[in-house]
Chain A
Amino acid sequence: MRTTADIFTYKNTSQQERAKGGPLAGKRVVIQPNMCARGWLTDAGSRALEGFIALEDATVVARLREAGAQLAGSARMGELGFGLKGDTGAQAIAAGEADIALITDTMGEARVAAAAHGLFAFKASFGVISRFGLVGLVPSIESWGVLARDLEDIIAVMRAVTGKDENDPSMPDEEPPDLSNIGGPLMKGQTAGVIKECLGGLSVEEVRLFQTGLERLEQAGFTMQEVSFQDFGLFRVVHNVIGSVEASSSAGKYDGVRYGHRASSAKHWNEMYLNTRGESFGTLIKEYLFQGAYFQFENYRAFENACRIRGRLVRDTADLFKNVSVLAFPTRRLGLNAAAATSAREVYDAFSLTLPANITGQPALHVPSFARGPEGDMGMQLAAPRLADAGLLEIGKVLASAMSGAERK
């Protein structure tokens, strides 16, 4: 069992928020040090931001406070939010230190972390939650992920944080999903699509386990339908190229000039940069940043192609929803421990089933225990069309009650 100090980089002992009412009153929320909370260490898990104290609250943090949430503290996280190495947000809930955890979901971190701890996790549609105050890495792909044992807590958080923010003009000019009325019974005639090519990459045993999850979906009222998506394998490639390029740009500001670690000596500015950045970044993120710099400086064509293919993947995915209401995926592969990944390739291996929703900007919900076997919980992941967050959470409620019913039996 981990100790409190292992879980938190900052533990909030202030009593101020406790008495406050609101829809999240009494709920303890743990955030990560890449989310700005005024006065808290915000180093994004990297020496590059060593000692950086946030000057103001991220919009999400401010809205949580307004809704009466009690900010329990800031968990540990993988460097700059790439992968799950060292992440403790889910553990904070497992250890009873928090009811809700916020984790950036850039390739599926929130959903995969939840799968390891029997929690629900929700990744919102891209662009419906302000990124103001998020120390981001991959701005066109990353999203906020919410984890909790109880889906109602996730819904309450989503209600509190979703919606326009004048501090984030990059949010698309569209109506954010209306989450005010989630709760009716599952509508008749819901169809869940299963992508054939996705199953093609799984082991026989994984397919069998996932099938048991699909059967439970059927029992909950879904009609199942197999669909084909020939380019499924391209999601990973596109994510890797675009993600690494954006990461390389985003991390460009970590130069030791204004904050963070700075190398102790250098003969000139160029050496100061090299030494500072060399000392600041860990090997895993360095590998990823190198990949991005390669595409930026040496193979820009590949980046352009990836952007174009991304557009096609978004359109083709939207087409699938003409015939199905949601897409069902396993959340993770068995036997791959995302937290233990030591190379960019291993990180991508661990998130190959969750990252498509990050590429398309769709909402995705991880439901625990639907596909659990002796080797662990593969997780049932449902993805809905972009901006259909409310409908997806509603489906989640039905599955949650089916689940608790099953447990009672």
Chain B
Amino acid sequence: MKYEAVIGLEIHVQLNAATKLFCDCPNRPGDEPNRNTCPVCLWLPGALPKLSREALEKATLACLALNCTIQPESAFDQKVYYYPDLPKGFQLSQHHKPLARNGWIDIIGEDGKQKRLRIHHIHMEEDVAKLVHEMEGRTPVSLVDFNRAGTPLIEIVSEPDMRSPYDAMEYVKALRTQLRYTGSADCSMEQGTLRVDANISLRPFGTDELNTKVEVKNMNSIRNVGDAIAYEIVRQGECLDRDEPIVLHTRLWDPEKRVTMPMRGKFSGPCVPDPSVARIVVTDDWLKDIRRRLPEMPGRKAERFSKEYGLTPEEASNMSQEREISEFFEEVARQGIPPRKAASWITTHLVPALRDRDVTITETPLTSGRFARLLAILETGVINAHAAKEVLLQLLASDRSPDEIVEKGKYRQVSDNSELEAIVDKILADHPSDVDDFRGGNAKVMGFLMGLAMKASGGKANPRLLKEIFTKKLG
């Protein structure tokens, strides 16, 4: 039988607020174990939670970026379960009254058409501590690191609108782009600041029933999200074909074996309103203020880039996916650099160089002014593209001006006719058979000869002049 997959995602995102959700401890889970703790996040007797204003603001910004409606009143509940990573026997989470409801994200579906995926709600909650299992000699010990306990999270619960691994991956990508734009979260799956749990069920095509779902966890990349869902769809399909019932449970994705393995029955404990955390009552003025902080989001920005700068849809999309890149592009374009040229250089040279170094633009000395100057020098013919690439790499490492680098590094392009003619003459003399080849009609030889000449000039020859000379001499 052919089945249709029904997929919903629950995504936990760690907010990058400076402090934990209910105390002033630094929000830095990676520090030396148990360094960032206090009576509140250890939940020592007598402590009381104090909701972080910054975390609330960042959460609200994230909700707005995902087109949700902020609720006039939200509140924290105690999600009761007992585990050593939970310092008080319950997790504070907004179960009954979430911060926001009814959002959506648009993706481009597999059919190339826009598809709107709905978000059921977004709530705030605190993260739990980290358990470390070690051997002390021959005795196994379990240690608890409370640095992560109480760090601020939002959980984004989608509607079951996704139908394929592709949909799910696009949803996660789009959500990540939107959230990073707001500056309220880093959203790294590798570092665990964005964690995806997928709920998957199957139904016969053409029906609209919602069958028993299975939850899959532990995917640490978007690729793994797709693979785990694809695996689970096949697995459940085989179960159904064998008339095995699907049981509500949680499975773990094993990235080595590339399979999902059963973990435990899905547990849902009681959720009791917490009397000690103040209710959140949103006023219009406050919400207006947060809304003002919402940047122009990538979809709208791409449209504007097409219109204002004449970028193609693909270029506009490339220039708007990341907020930092988009702002950098616009600053460069405003300095009189042809926008498509700026976009092309950012995509083909700057972004790969940043990726190689695993840095963002702000982590390098590069400024939009120096990048624009580099492209301007390139435009006027003082240097060629080859040299410009070299200069760009140096701009990422030092704060010298492009002009200085060009002068000191002797990158200035050779446009002196006599100098270039001497190079060309020598190459023609050294490669008589290739010359004959060309004259015999093999046009490809020109490229080979150009390469040799460029190399002989140390990469500095003006390619336009060089070609003219070759054409003249071979004609």
What is A's interface to B at a CB cutoff of 8 Å?
34, 36, 42, 44, 49, 52, 54-56, 58, 131-135, 139-140, 167-170, 245-246, 248-249, 251-253, 255, 257-259, 269, 273, 296-297, 300, 303, 307
Contact = CB atoms under 8 A, between A and B. Distances in A.
Given A49-B45, A135-B45, A257 B89 contact: no
B275 interface: yes
Given A135-B46, A255-B82, A257-B144, A249 B90 contact: yes
Contacts of A168: 48
A167 B39 CA distance: 12
Contact of A55 (B39, B49, B50, B270): B39
B452 to A, nearest CB: 72
A340 B83 CA distance: 35
A36 B46 CA distance: 7
A169 B45 CA distance: 17
Ranked nearest first, the 9 interchain pairs of A and B with the lowest CB-CB distance are A252-B89, A140-B275, A253-B88, A135-B45, A296-B270, A139-B275, A36-B46, A133-B46, A169-B278
A252 B88 CA distance: 6
Contacts of B272: 245-246, 249, 296, 303
A297 B87 contact: no
A296 B88 contact: no
Contacts of A296: 80, 269-270, 272
B248 interface: no
B53 to A, nearest CB: 11
Interface string B71-114: 00000001010111001111000000000000000000000000
B45 A36 contact: yes
B48 A52 contact: no
Contacts of A249: 78, 80, 89-90, 272, 274
Given A168-B48, A170-B275, 11 more contacts: A52-B45, A54-B45, A58-B46, A132-B46, A252-B89, A253-B89, A255-B84, A258-B43, A297-B80, A297-B269, A297-B270
Interface in B276-290: 276-278
Interface string B44-61: 111011110000000000
A259 B270 CA distance: 25
B42 interface: yes
The size bracket of the interface on B is: 20 to 34
A59 to B, nearest CB: 10
A258 B48 contact: no
B211 interface: no
15 contacts: A54-B46, A169-B277, A170-B275, A246-B275, A249-B274, A252-B80, A252-B89, A253-B45, A253-B87, A253-B88, A253-B89, A255-B82, A257-B87, A258-B42, A296-B270
A296 B78 CA distance: 11
Nearest to A277: B82
A169 B48 contact: yes
Interface of B: 39, 42-46, 48-51, 78, 80, 82-84, 87-90, 142, 144, 269-270, 272-278
A119 B442 CA distance: 114
A258 B142 contact: no
Contacts, number: 88
Contacts of A135: 45-46
A273 B82 contact: yes
Query: At the interface, is chain B mostly helix, strand, loop or mixed?
Result: loop
Nearest to B270: A296
Nearest to B281: A173
Contacts of B82: 252, 255, 273
A135 B43 CA distance: 11
B265 to A, nearest CB: 15
B46 A258 contact: no
Nearest to A296: B270
Nearest to A55: B39
Contact of B278 (A170, A297, A300): A170
A169 B281 CA distance: 14
Nearest to A256: B84
A44 B48 contact: no
Nearest to A273: B82
A255 B49 CA distance: 19
A34 B46 CA distance: 8
B78 A170 contact: no
A385 B80 CA distance: 34
Contacts of A132: 46, 48
A52 B39 CA distance: 12
B226 to A, nearest CB: 34
A246 to B, nearest CB: 7
A391 to B, nearest CB: 26
